[in-house]
Amino acid sequence: MSRLKLFLPLMVFVVLAIFLLNGLERDPNAMPSALIDRPIPVFSLPVLGDETRSVTEALFQGEPALLNVWATWCVACRIEHPFLNKLADQGVRIIGLNYKDDNDAAKKWLMDKGDPYALSVIDARGRMGLDLGVFGAPETYVVDRTGTIRYKHIGVVDERVWRDKLLPVWQEIQ
């Protein structure tokens, strides 16, 4: 028994090491979204480039879509943009949420870089973002044809994220 006690510090160390190693593997920014498997929040917001027209959550009914939160002030969005263009070319329907941005800057951005969005909704005050639990851009939601959020990715969507995380969900809801 007293021999075993000698190993106690080692055992404590091993347990700690396992937990800490596990912690290294995890993304500290990853947190479970509260809105997974919940419907897109109710909204009524103007459309970028056609500000007199407003759209509602009905936009997400009938056809699966990605909801991409973007802004011109968001550096990572710049990195993500070419890949979104590519996805749009492949026929993926992407709805943009232009989050707390300047309209003119946003329009210029789409002119310069190409517009991957079926349309972009203007969330000037970030109220829709708040309802979505957005806490930065870019964020991308996978929404199925009933308007239910199926997956949320925080950060840049690139080839790897698409292949490993979004595509499986996307194929499932087709």
Partner 1 sequence: MYRIFTVGTFLLLILAGAGPVGAAEDVQPFSSDDKRQRFHELVAELRCPKCQNQTLADSNSPIAQDLRGEIYRMLEDGKTDSEIVDFLVDRYGEFVMYRPPVKNTTLILWLTPLLLVLIGIGILWRVHRRQSISAPPVNAQSDGSSATAVNSEALSAKEQAQLKTLLGESEQSESDDEKSSGGVER
* Residues at the contact surface with partner 1, assessed by CB under 8 A: 28-29, 31-35, 100, 126, 130-136
Rounded least distance, CB 22 to partner 1, Å: 15
Report which secondary-structure segment, H or E, holds 105. helix 103-113
11 residue type, one letter: M
Buried b (16+ CB within 10 A) or exposed e, 43-67: bebbbbbeeeeebebebbeeebbbb
Cβ proximity to partner 1: between 17 and 34 the closer is 34
Rounded least distance, CB 45 to partner 1, Å: 16
Length of the chain equals 174
Q: How many CA atoms lie within 13 A of 91 on its CB side?
A: 4
Cβ proximity to partner 1: between 101 and 115 the closer is 101
Rounded least distance, CB 87 to partner 1, Å: 26
**What token pair was written down for 63?**
């056809």
Cβ proximity to partner 1: between 80 and 123 the closer is 123
Rounded least distance, CB 50 to partner 1, Å: 26
β partners of residue 39:
148
Rounded least distance, CB 131 to partner 1, Å: 6
Cβ proximity to partner 1: between 152 and 162 the closer is 152
DSSP state of 145: T
DSSP state of 81: H
**Residues 6 or more apart from 166 whose CB is under 8 A from it?**
66, 140, 142, 151, 153, 157
Q: Hey, is 91 helix, strand or coil?
A: coil
Cβ proximity to partner 1: between 111 and 130 the closer is 130
